[in-house]
Amino acid sequence: MPYDGTFNWEPSRRWVRGVRGGTTVVDSKAPVLVWGPDHPVPAYAFPISDVSGLTGASDLTVEGETSAGVVSTYPELPDHVSIAWFRYEGTVLDHWYEEEEEIFVHPRDPYKRVDPIPSSRHVRVEIGGRVVADTRNPVLLYETGLPTRYYVPPGDVDFALLEPTDSGTRCPYKGEASYWSLREPVEGVPADVAWAYHDPIPAAAGIKDHVAFYNEFVDIIVDGVKEDRPETVFSKR
């Protein structure tokens, strides 16, 4: 895959637009996906002619408001610019679209797969010895670089053990997630241990309203066999 600790790029045929307020700032049918040496997920670079509001070497002015230091250039792509998006504190543009679908957090990596697959496996989720979910109709979500996530139909989840939180996250491959914590805390189990996508993007429609739990902190038993808890970037939550 392109991310290997060096600078890599490749053309994309997707129509990409970036909007702020009532102004379309980026409108490009010739974007370039860029993987920087210290950036494992891709960014977009655009032909300079496809971006409006460029002021100075690294500033962007939209509707009379200037955002400083949000424009990047690459020696390898002298006629292109990139607009700050991922890991930037504050809002640069309000919405990004690929074709007519809104995308979140960062551009989707064409070398990363996210496959939600219906299953008839028997999946049981236990926390602190209590069964919080038990189903024979899970959706297994296979995502490159992460453990299999088991999405449980809401009717097979014991919500009496959970309470909703105000937390929310966005994923470029699934959409916007809502979270639950345990009503009665268990040592070693963090807040927001369970989540669901109530309005996932079309490619992840199969997990709509299903509830998943962090394999890293709960016991998941699949067809009678307890799975090992994986070590991932989420293990340090």
Q: Identify whether residues 142 and 216 lie together within a single domain.
A: yes
205 three-class SS: helix
Global pTM reads: 0.86
In a domain? residue 43? yes
Q: Identify whether residues 174 and 215 lie together within a single domain.
A: yes
CB count, 10 Å around CB of 122? 14
Q: Identify whether residues 154 and 221 lie together within a single domain.
A: yes
Q: Identify whether residues 94 and 136 lie together within a single domain.
A: no
Could you say which of 103, 127, 152 is where a domain stops?
A: 103
- Could you tell me the two tokens for 204? 């992840």
Q: Which pLDDT belongs to residue 89? A: 61
- Its domain, for residue 135, covers 114-236
Q: Which pLDDT belongs to residue 86? A: 54
Q: Identify whether residues 146 and 41 lie together within a single domain.
A: no
Could you say which of 68, 103, 138 is where a domain stops?
A: 103
Q: Which pLDDT belongs to residue 38? A: 79
DSSP state of 119: -
Q: Identify whether residues 150 and 189 lie together within a single domain.
A: yes
Q: Identify whether residues 96 and 203 lie together within a single domain.
A: no
Q: Identify whether residues 41 and 128 lie together within a single domain.
A: no
H helix count then E strand count, the chain: 0, 23
The sign of the dihedral angle between the CA atoms of 193, 204, 233, 42 is negative
Q: Which pLDDT belongs to residue 91? A: 67
Domain count, the chain: 2
CA distance 114 to 29: 25
Q: Identify whether residues 146 and 195 lie together within a single domain.
A: yes
Q: Which pLDDT belongs to residue 214? A: 97
Query: Where on the phi/psi map is residue 69: left (φ > 0), alpha (ψ -120 to 50), or beta?
Result: left
> Which long-range contacts link 119-125 to residues 24+ away (Cβ below 8 Å)?
121/222, 121/223, 122/222, 122/223, 122/224, 123/150, 123/152, 123/220, 123/221, 123/222, 124/220, 124/221, 125/150, 125/152, 125/213, 125/218, 125/219, 125/220, 125/221
Report pLDDT digits (tens) over 121-165. 999 999 999 999 999 999 999 999 899 999 999 999 999 999 999
Contact 31, 14 (CB under 8 A): yes
CA distance 136 to 138: 6
For residue 122, what is the domain's CATH number? 2.170.150.40
Q: Identify whether residues 67 and 146 lie together within a single domain.
A: no
Residues of the chain with pLDDT under 50: 87
Q: Identify whether residues 146 and 214 lie together within a single domain.
A: yes
Could you say which of 77, 103, 129 is where a domain stops?
A: 103
For residue 30, what is the domain's CATH number? 2.170.150
